[in-house]
Amino acid sequence: MRRWWENLPDRDRRALAMIAMALAFAVVWFGAWEPLQKDKQRNRELLVQKEELLNWMQGASAEAKALAGSRVVRPATSPEGGSLLATVDRTVTQANLKSTVKRIEPEGSNKARLWMEEGSFDRMVAWLVDLQRSQGVAIEEIRVDAKADDGTVNARLTLQRGEADS
């Protein structure tokens, strides 16, 4: 190989050296530099998304704390009278959520478990806020799973009435 190189004319050796340098530059550029730059840009975009999510979560946390501080002690029966199950049944119907309720189960005299499927998240939250404010029913436990459709969720709730929510 060395003898072949030495037998080449100077002009050919310079041309081959320039081609080898260009090839080495292309390998470094496309093999290392460009992928690193793409990763850097993708990471910057991810960071911006995560910061936006963090800001939203901090705002939601502050709002949740403010709402938690506004809870009051309510009696064990609703202002209209009746059991927790009757109150839940009546208010879900008023909130147009009756079709999403798959099961309601009593748990003692002041608690109930509720399963909702493929319901509107916004409508459910509005119903829960109204239920807490007007009926004195608090959410003891909640699990919400988002569905593929925007704003549609499955939820499992444990509701309680008659306890201090402070």
DSSP for 92-147 reads: HHHTT-GGGEEEEEE-SSSEEEEEEEEEEHHHHHHHHHHHHHHH-EEEEEEEEEE-
The pLDDT of residue 75 is 46
The pLDDT of residue 44 is 95
The pLDDT of residue 73 is 45
The pLDDT of residue 80 is 54
Global pTM exceeds 0.85:
no
The pLDDT of residue 114 is 93
The pLDDT of residue 166 is 42
What gap in Å lies between CA 143 and CA 108, rounded to an integer?
20
Which residues of the chain fall below pLDDT 50?
73-78, 164-166
- How wide is the angle at C-alpha 160 spanned by C-alphas 144 and 141, nearest 5°? 25
